[in-house]
């Protein structure tokens, strides 16, 4: 489940912190092991690295987002000019910084390329004191053939906004780009780098309201320098055509008509979501709520910060620091949390996470811990613990009395969890277990007062924070995940003492991953009885069946689910 608290080591591994731009040379490796749940990824993305010469003349066919109406426009991608030097074409590594291009757009284009191949994160956040941007700069230089200067905070913010927004709106942008080409083949065979530059230009014009001259001129220049003059001419022609259509309020969009499937296809383009998600949400939520959810997913994400009481800090201390940093905040209904929409970069650079004052954790995850209700002196096992946010929060609530076992199949992420525990002064209360829960439950004789299974899931409740996740999920993934969730629930139940508590949670809003899994579990295990979460979380989060459920559109936090089950004493 996504949404666990992230102290600095966790936050680094999740969003790519470590240099002014990127922590590791291959952050995709961590992501592929984490997935939406932070633990198990079911993805159809090809993890292979894109060619070093990606975007330079290769034929790269892609699926059509939807067949748009035929419109007059560009019929081919211009060939490289024979007079163009190879250095300008981006084939030779150049040591000097190129001052002709917009550097934040250059980084955004390369990052979009890497995201599409599963090798990068969307986020560009950095921590004060890390002065080297060599990783990201080397990716840019290898891909484009020239160097750029290190990005300042404003540049990093721009890259993050452009990349996240372009990824969210990819289906919508691609439909429009293809609509402005007279032949679908032009779009399908467009060079990857050229497509990313066009996506950036379209996003800036349509969603960021960047001045037309800047969006056109800067992206044209980037295409000319990184590719060739002809590519710049193509970008110029398509962007200027887009501007004319925008001014005339005549952008080509599909009509919402026909049967349910046809309407879902149209909505999937307009709101840039996979068709299967749109159809599923309309089925379970109704059309009005489905549209609200898609709008939420396309908005800039909100973040919550949890103060680390184990280190002696209070929320008042955290608020004082935020005010001194001029970071706008809102108090949460949960005593340990505050909300911020902008200023995460400032929080990171000020070292608040590094010094163990706080962790990044959504309130939805904090409410799951409230469902567990850790009490001093209890023994608790977190069965899929990494990245460890809930583990740390539960340990903090034990007030120095009791024990938490953090179990996870990923040894590297467990190591990061324990580093965070030490940072939060909780390492004496947490022990790690590197194991597959299904095997561990069969081999151990240990039982616990409380067992938390924060299960691997689709992550459909956190799509506003995970801009790329919607494109990395397939309908078929749900069936695989549900089978895994059932297996893990059966195993976790073996670890509960008679009279003990089992809590099952996800960061999904899909009933088949949530309520349906609990109903099936209770049928298989009559010795477990559902206990209402009423009294553990505010009433607005309690469903009629007694489950905890948070909704992005209703509560303005991540979507999450939790069920509390009691094992009979007999």
| Known binding-site residue numbers | 384-390, 408, 436, 454
Phi, psi (degrees; rounded to nearest 5) at 531: -115, 130
100 touches 220 (CB < 8 A): no
Q: Are 79 and 230 in contact, with CB atoms under 8 Å apart?
A: yes
Q: Say which of 181, 383, 457, 507 is annotated catalytic.
A: 507
Binding residues for S-adenosyl-L-methionine, by number, are 384-390, 408, 436, 454
What is the number of other CB atoms lying within 10 angstroms of the CB of residue 274?
Answer: 17
Structure-token pair, residue 130: 């890390």
Would you say 416 and 9 are in contact if contact means Cβ atoms under 8 Å apart? Answer: yes
Residues with Cβ within 8 Å of residue 89, at least 6 apart in sequence: 56, 80, 145, 227, 228
d(Cα 181, Cα 169) in Å, to the nearest integer? 19
* Alpha-carbon radius of gyration of the chain: 25
Structure-block tokens of residue 18? 């470590």
| Distances from the Cα of 320 to the Cα of 8, 338, 349, 361, 403, angstroms | 20, 12, 16, 19, 32
Count of beta carbons in the 10 Å neighbourhood of residue 188:
15
Angstrom distance (rounded) from CA 235 to CA 195: 9
**What SS3 state is found at 102?**
coil
Whether residue 507 lies in the annotated active site: yes
44 token code pair: 């159809």
Give burial (CB, 10 Å; 0-12/13-18/19+) of 539. Answer: exposed
Name residue, tokens 């790269």: 60
**In angstroms, rounded to a whole number, what is the distance separating the alpha carbons of residues 24 and 16?**
7
3-state secondary structure at position 563: strand
The residues carrying an active-site annotation are: 507
């Amino acid at each position: 489940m996504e949404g666990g608290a992230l102290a600095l080591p966790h936050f680094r591994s999740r969003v790519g912190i470590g240099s002014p731009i990127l922590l590791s040379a291959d952050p995709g490796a961590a992501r592929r092991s984490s997935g939406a749940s932070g633990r198990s990824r079911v993805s159809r993305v090809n993890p292979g690295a894109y060619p070093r010469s990606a975007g330079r003349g290769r034929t790269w066919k892609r699926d059509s987002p939807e067949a748009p109406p035929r419109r007059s426009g560009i019929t081919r991608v211009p060939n490289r000019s024979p007079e163009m030097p190879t250095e300008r074409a981006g084939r030779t590594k150049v040591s000097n910084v190129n001052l002709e291009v917009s550097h934040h757009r250059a980084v955004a284009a390369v990052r979009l390329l890497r995201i599409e191949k599963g090798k990068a994160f969307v986020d560009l956040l950095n921590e004060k004191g890390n002065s080297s941007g060599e990783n990201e700069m080397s990716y840019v230089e290898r891909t484009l053939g020239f160097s750029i200067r290190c990005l300042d905070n404003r540049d990093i913010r721009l890259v993050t906004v452009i990349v996240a927004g372009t990824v969210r709106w990819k289906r919508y942008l691609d439909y429009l780009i293809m609509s402005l080409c007279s032949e679908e083949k032009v779009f399908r065979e467009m060079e990857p780098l050229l497509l990313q530059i066009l996506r950036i230009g379209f996003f800036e014009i349509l969603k960021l309201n960047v001045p037309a001259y800047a969006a056109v001129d800067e992206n044209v220049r980037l295409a000319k320098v990184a590719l060739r003059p002809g590519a710049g001419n193509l970008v110029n022609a398509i962007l200027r055509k887009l501007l004319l259509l925008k001014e005339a309020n005549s952008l080509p969009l599909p009509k919402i008509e026909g049967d349910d499937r046809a309407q879902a296809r149209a909505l999937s383009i307009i709101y840039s979501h996979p068709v299967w998600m749109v159809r599923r949400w309309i089925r379970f939520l109704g059309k009005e709520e489905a549209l609200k959810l898609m709008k939420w997913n396309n908005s800039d994400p909100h973040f919550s910060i949890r103060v680390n009481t184990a280190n002696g800090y209070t929320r008042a201390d955290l608020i004082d620091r935020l005010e001194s940093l001029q970071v706008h905040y809102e108090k949460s209904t949960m005593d340990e949390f505050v909300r911020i929409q902008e200023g995460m970069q400032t929080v990171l650079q000020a070292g608040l996470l590094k010094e163990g004052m706080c962790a990044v954790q959504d309130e939805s995850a904090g409410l799951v811990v409230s469902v567990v209700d850790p009490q001093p002196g209890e023994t608790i096992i977190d069965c899929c613990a990494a990245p460890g946010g809930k583990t740390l929060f539960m340990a903090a609530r034990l007030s120095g009395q009791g024990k938490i076992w953090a179990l996870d199949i990923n040894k590297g992420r467990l190591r990061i969890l324990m580093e965070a525990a030490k940072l939060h002064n909780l390492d004496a209360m947490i022990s790690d277990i590197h194991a597959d829960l299904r095997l561990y439950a069969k081999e151990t004789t240990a039982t616990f007062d409380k067992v938390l299974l924060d299960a691997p899931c689709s992550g459909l409740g956190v799509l506003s924070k995970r801009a790329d996740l919607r494109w990395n999920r397939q309908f078929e993934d749900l069936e695989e995940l549900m089978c895994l969730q059932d297996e893990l629930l059966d195993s976790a139940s073996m670890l509960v003492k008679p009279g003990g508590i089992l809590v099952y949670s996800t960061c999904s809003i899909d009933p088949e991953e949530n309520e349906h899994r609990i109903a099936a579990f209770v049928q298989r295990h009559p010795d477990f009885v559902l206990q209402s979460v009423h009294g553990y979380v505010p009433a607005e989060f309690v469903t009629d069946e007694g489950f905890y459920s948070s909704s992005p559109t209703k509560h303005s936090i991540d979507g999450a689910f939790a069920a509390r089950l009691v094992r009979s004493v007999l």
